[in-house]
Structure 1
């Protein structure tokens, strides 16, 4: 899974998002019919081939349907943006207000096998580590986040290290970095696997140790440089994590 922000997005993806945003903002309300391709291409200032490709992606993702003799209509319940965009987990798992971020631990630690692999951390480096409990909407999830060494953050974007140093306790590391990015393109790759909570995580979440869960690992980069690595534990019962696949 990959997410790309800002300047690195393909023109068709940008166009897809413009139309999807217009649907979500009510410019094209549920049940309405989109303008014809020539008219829509003219309104958006894009070529018809690019528009046609974006419309096909919107159909595949369930935002649009094609009705014979009518044209492309907006579905009643368009899918909301999900994990394919770089957003803090507390926003992605919420159905209304963001989940609350309760800090369990804020510290620095030496590299582990996980951070050595994903952050390319050198032996003896000091890495900022945050453990957080995300609660709200009747569910709870656990998040572990590690930032790259401060000298690495300073090299790719000076605001990153400074923002983490003064961040409020009730914030996730990813929310701090995305807010500080200020147009610096971020990319992310993630992996998803099935697991059990285990005793310690079960106690933190108030669930049984043998509760099934989804483990999401995430690495966020600036160019080729990893700046954040995370593990998110999502037990059964937590809000769905929406993912649009093209």
Structure 2
């Protein structure tokens, strides 16, 4: 890509979603340009004022975004010269973030309260996403994630039965029983116990109303709106995990980027 291509890319209108901080939007614009090769490795970035003018934001917003980019290893500062795209880029994170990490606030750990663990016949919902045979068994686990005293998510996790877990990675089947007893999501516990990484395959987002059961678990009204995020993942190339997460609209601002969920603070 030429310098003109990079300038044209930065000059495109900056789109933000409601509640999204401008620094996050600027970070996303520049990081996508770096990953796509529009802003080439080793090249000098425009000055803060030039980026701000191109994107229609203040120099302070640009500076905050550039600080985040440098923290993540995407750019480097050379004193007296300027900021450059890093010569080598850190790998993109493909693993799913455990939900209790996402929902933790500074100084307040998220807590997980287990509700149910059962072995069930595979449903169409799960077979469509991770390819289980219609007559196969699957594990279902439900829990509530709370930040402080406030319930922030109702989490339903689905995995194949023991045979399917062994096919993906024997450690999954070996550690499943212990992981299911942990006060953590299965994603977090299996990642830690089995030493595997769940690679994101996709996500779906829906807006709905809480209903009686979800409202009771989340301490909200049945008519309150919910964001329902469904994600599915593989281990070692084998589709093996589905999670459905119901989040109250009052929780805060969340962004789905590259099939991963992040919280904007």
Q: SS where residue 170 of structure 1 aligns?
A: coil
In the alignment, what sits opposite 1:194?
Answer: 207
Provide TM-score, normalisation by structure 2: 0.60
Runs of 4+ in 1 over 4 A off after TM superposition: 59-62, 242-245
Provide TM-score, normalisation by structure 1: 0.64
In the alignment, what sits opposite 1:156?
Answer: 168
Residue 89 of structure 1: which of 99, 103, 106 is its match?
A: 99
In the alignment, what sits opposite 2:238?
Answer: 225
Q: 1:140 Cα deviation (Å)?
A: 2.1
Hey, what's the Cα distance between the residues in 2 that align with 1:52 and 1:85? 29
Hey, what's the Cα distance between the residues in 2 that align with 1:92 and 1:212? 20
Contact in 2 for aligned 1:121/1:149 (Cα 8 Å): no
Coordinate RMSD, CA, aligned: 3.5
1:196-225 CA distance string (max 9 Å, x none): 111211122121111111110010113542
Q: 1:244 Cα deviation (Å)?
A: 5.2
1:63-111 CA distance string (max 9 Å, x none): 3079xx97349xxxxxxxxx97521111112223431110010111111
Gaps of 5+ in 2: 1-38, 56-61, 68-74, 85-92, 259-265
Hey, what's the Cα distance between the residues in 2 that align with 1:153 and 1:85? 18
Matches within 5 A, 1:1-246: 49-52=40-43, 63-64=65-66, 71-72=82-83, 86-96=96-106, 97-137=108-148, 138-167=150-179, 168-180=181-193, 182=195, 186-243=199-256
1:5-44 CA distance string (max 9 Å, x none): xxxxxxxxxxxxxxxxxxxxxxxxxxxxxxxxxxxxxxxx
Q: SS where residue 253 of structure 2 aligns?
A: coil
Hey, what's the Cα distance between the residues in 2 that align with 1:212 and 1:202? 10
- C-alpha spacing 1:125/1:200, structure 2 compared with 1 (3 Å): same
- C-alpha spacing 1:139/1:52, structure 2 compared with 1 (3 Å): farther
Q: Which moved more, 1:206-215 or 1:181-190?
A: 181-190
Gaps of 5+ in 1: 1-47, 74-82
Contact in 1 for aligned 2:100/2:110 (Cα 8 Å): yes
